[in-house]
Chain A
Amino acid sequence: MEQKLRKEARKLLEEGEVDYIIGFAPGSLKFSTTPLIAKGKEEVASLVINPFMVNNLAKFLTEMPGRVGIVAKGCDSRSIVSLIQDNQVTRENVVIIGVPCSGLIDIVKIEKLAGKDRDEIDNIALQGEKAAVIVGGQKTELFTKEVLFDNCLACEFPTPQEYDILIGEPVAATCNRELGQEKMKELEGMTPEQRWEFWKCQFGRCIMCYACRQVCPACFCERCFVEESQPQWVLPVPKWQDNLIFQIIRNIHVAGRCTDCGECERVCPVNIPLRSLTEKMYGLVKEMFNYEAGTDKNAPPLMTAYEYEEVKDLIR
């Protein structure tokens, strides 16, 4: 698979089809990758495909000039389509190299199960439904569904829907939305007072690094509302109230654009379960508008289209 990817990427560069290739290269940490933005054809030799390619590369598309070849998992391709719908990316300028994805490994889940940090784990191997983790020479058998990201467990489109080249065979969705929604269900089971306390505590530790916004392909505004000073929507001080307002507004802004790639939650350095918010919004969008972000490049963006029937159920 990797060989084929490198060959195709090289060909695209050599034939002048694209100016850049965006993909994944091995990271410097164990069990990691890093986004590779390659201009030279020699660089594509380090492209990899593995269950640690966590970033949503669509983020880089909006800042790249010229024609770009981009490696895309199911969720990445949906984000690309969503950007096309929003006129942020021109379809003709992108060559989508689709990579069917069987789910990415959530290293934090393994750290918790093994009681060890990333660098203390020797090996992680996925074999179908089983995952083998070796720590200090000791092998532990786990189930794959225990070690994948929640959003991967809930993924409906593991194979890119929009692509120019597909590397490998399409993967069927084994989507189990129940598994991917455990945290959210727990929150839904709370009383409003408990839920308020929960989020107050979570947002109390936000440091306003904006990593959640910066990695999100749906957050493509050139100027974010939090940076406005007239009017000042939120105080640029990490008080929990302002952090909460930021996330609520961000959620509404990405409604119909969020493809549930889970990046916002993964990158949060202080472990705020942000996907519980985006997941809820994702579900509401589907339920209320029968709309799934990034599945049809010709569809108008959710918030720009209006149908008369919607009015009956819009405010509740």
Chain B
Amino acid sequence: MTNKKISKKDIGKLLEGWSREFTVFVPSKDRGVTEMAKWDGKDTGFFEWYRNTVIPAKSSFLPAMEKMFSFQKDTDGYHLELSQDQQKRILFGIRPCDARAIAIIDNVFTDSYEDPYYVSKRKNTVLIGLNCTNPYDSCFCTSLGVKPTQSVDVDLMLTDIGDEFSVEEITDKGKELLAAASVVKKATKADDAKAKTVTAAVSGMVKRKVDTKDIAKKLQACFSDKDYWEKVAANCVSCGICTLLCPTCYCFDICDELSKKQGTRYRRWDSCGFSIYTRMPMENPREEKWRRVRQKVCHKYEFYPMNFDVIACTGCGRCIRLCPVNWDIIQILSSVPAEQPAKKKVVSEKDVSYRY
């Protein structure tokens, strides 16, 4: 390993240097909620409080609200003005779970159709990770194959080794970024050893576990077990917190703001937790709460892996921490019946057609 290192007190200088070329985003609570926000050019105090942000880092690529284009009508017809964010950006301090989540939803936005809004922001952004050294009691990343300290899905990865950060170059993008930074030094063997000790200590700190090995199969088997899903959904209040603030949930809705002869098209986060999400003129296949809860769970752990071979969850624990009723996905996944009792097997035609 040929790692580099940087002193914590030099982080301000480092960010300042990068600010000349990039818009730098760091963990912030200036707006009254923790999120990745534009660096104010001074404060590096986020190391004191930052564990993870409430607003997941996906919002840097798929914002809660995004202007797509505006349009005007005159005698020649309609005129469109595209709105695309082309600024070069650095996200500084993203956690491994959230970086993994972005890699997971990249699949959706680059699959059969390349989403220009998402992809342009993604291409123009350098991800600088900050390994997790203080996971929450609700974190369960290790059950989803994510380690709190790992060196993937980012361009550079930092590990806290006391007064300094050990810096690992993961991609060429990351390497280029460091080349011009004079405050970055070569790490010694002792520094590398420290980073290894930190990594070893943190992996045991993620206490909650769930067996995800056969989860897709189990979910498939109990899809029509209405009793089970009704019980699981009983205390859900159908708000959008666990989905909107999930780093791997990517659903959005599109709507127009219209005034006389002009308008703006927006897209915004949407959630399968809302009954209106599937409302159609004639019927609503997920009118009942248990169907929506089932959709949320099955989409993440059964349908998404069928499409992209990866579970759409990184165990960041936000859905558990932020839920108004403490609906706990770990408990739900652990309670999925292993096998269906024969008498319970009622597959209605309606249910089959509503899968996926």
Which residues of A line the B interface, CB within 8 A? 27-30, 32-37, 55, 59-60, 63, 117, 119, 201-202, 204-205, 207-211, 213-215, 227, 235-239, 263, 266-267, 269-272
Using CB atoms, name the residue of chain A closest to B134.
Answer: A120
Closest chain-A Cβ to B61's Cβ sits at a distance in Å of 16
The docked-state distance in angstroms from the alpha carbon of A209 to that of B331 is 23
In the assembled complex, which residues on chain B have CB atoms less than 8 Å from the CB atom of A35? 234-235, 325
Would you call B320 an interface residue if the criterion is a C-beta within 8 Å of the partner chain's C-beta atoms? yes
Cβ-defined contact, A210 with B324, below 8 A: no
In the bound complex, residues from chain B placing their C-beta under 8 Å from that of A34 are 235, 325-328
- Asked if B257 CB lies within 8 Å of chain A CBs, one says yes
Q: Mark B77-105, 1 if CB is under 8 A from A, else 0.
A: 00000000000000000000000000000
Contact B238 A214 (CB under 8 A): yes
Complex Cα distance, B181 from A66, in Å, reads 69
Kindly state the separation between the CA atoms of A257 and B65 in the bound complex, as whole angstroms: 32
Residues of B within 8 A of A (CB-CB), count:
40
Interface mask (B104-129 → A, CB under 8 Å = 1, otherwise 0)? 00000000000000000000000000
Contact check, A202 vs B326: say whether CB atoms are below 8 A apart: no
Write the chain B residue with the least CB distance to A37.
Answer: B234
Chain B contacts to A: CB under 8 angstroms: 31-33, 51, 54-55, 64-65, 136-138, 234-235, 237-241, 244-245, 253, 255, 257, 266, 268-269, 271, 274, 276, 289, 320-322, 324-328, 330-331
Interface CB pairs A-B, < 8 A, 15: A28-B326, A33-B326, A37-B235, A117-B51, A202-B32, A204-B31, A207-B240, A208-B240, A209-B244, A211-B240, A214-B324, A227-B276, A267-B241, A267-B324, A270-B32
Report the nearest A residue to B322, measured CB to CB: A269
Whole-angstrom distance between the alpha carbons of A89 and B266 in the complex?
40
Total A-B Cβ pairs within 8 A: 110
The reply to whether A208 and B237 form a contact with Cβ atoms under 8 Å apart is: no
Q: Within 8 Å CB of B266, what residues of A?
A: 235, 237
17 additional contacts (CB under 8 A) given A205-B31, A238-B268: A28-B138, A28-B326, A28-B330, A28-B331, A29-B138, A63-B289, A117-B136, A207-B240, A207-B269, A208-B269, A209-B241, A210-B274, A211-B237, A211-B240, A236-B255, A237-B65, A267-B241
Q: Are A214 and B237 in contact (CB under 8 A)?
A: yes
Cβ of B33 and Cβ of A205 under 8 Å apart?
yes
